[in-house]
């Protein structure tokens, strides 16, 4: 397994990150024709943005990945939240991503439904948003089986 991880602080499907990129830009840079799996994760950074724009831009990112790597599977992981008190805007993003993932034949996973970070304040930094080092390890432990299920089995 050779993973290429591309991310940018503050980036979302619509929200521009600290270097000016959105998920579609990152997709164009990272996805290669021989990729087996493309994973999208997030984005709470879009929480105050227009749902119609999130719908369009997430669809564009997913279809771009399919175009760039036509035989790759797509795994879309919705935005997590730090507690069970999830803002309506985050639930809206989750619902949009679930719908768009379904429309393009991608697998969707919902960290909110699964309760990631709920009752685990020790995994979130003092800013109330970002995971601690332990929180990052926690996310990796949860992502690994999701990714593994999408990869072909060795013969």
Look at residue 155 in the predicted model and tell me its pLDDT: 40
pLDDT tens-digit readout, 7-58 = 999 999 999 999 999 999 999 999 999 999 999 998 999 999 999 999 999 9
The confidence score (pLDDT) of residue 5 equals 85
At 2 the pLDDT is 79
What pLDDT was estimated at residue 130? Answer: 87
Helices H, strands E: what count in the chain?
Answer: 5, 3
Q: What is the pLDDT of residue 154?
A: 55
pLDDT per residue as tens digits for the range 48-101: 999 999 999 999 999 999 999 999 999 999 999 998 999 999 999 999 999 999
User: What is the per-residue pLDDT for 119?
Assistant: 86
Q: How many Cβ atoms sit within 10 Å of the Cβ of residue 150?
A: 17
Spatial separation of the C-alpha atoms in residues 65 and 155, rounded to whole Å: 27
CB 13 within 8 A of CB 22: yes
User: Rounded distance, CA 21 to CA 9, Å?
Assistant: 9
Cβ contact 72:106 at 8 Å:
no
Contact 29, 39 (CB under 8 A): no
């Amino acid at each position: 397994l050779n993973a290429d991880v591309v991310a940018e602080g503050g980036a979302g499907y619509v929200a521009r990150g600290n270097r000016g990129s959105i998920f579609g830009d990152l997709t164009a840079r990272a996805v290669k024709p021989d990729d087996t799996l493309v994973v999208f994760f997030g984005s709470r950074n879009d929480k105050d943005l227009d749902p119609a724009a999130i719908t369009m831009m997430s669809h564009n990112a997913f279809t771009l990945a399919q175009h760039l790597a036509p035989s790759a599977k797509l795994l879309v992981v919705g935005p997590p939240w730090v507690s069970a008190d999830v803002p309506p805007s985050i639930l809206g993003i989750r619902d949009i991503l679930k719908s768009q993932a379904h429309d393009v034949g991608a697998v969707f996973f919902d960290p909110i439904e699964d309760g990631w970070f709920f009752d685990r304040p020790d995994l979130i930094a003092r800013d109330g948003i970002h995971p601690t080092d332990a929180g990052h390890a926690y996310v990796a432990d949860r992502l690994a089986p999701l990714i593994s299920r999408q990869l072909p089995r060795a013969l």
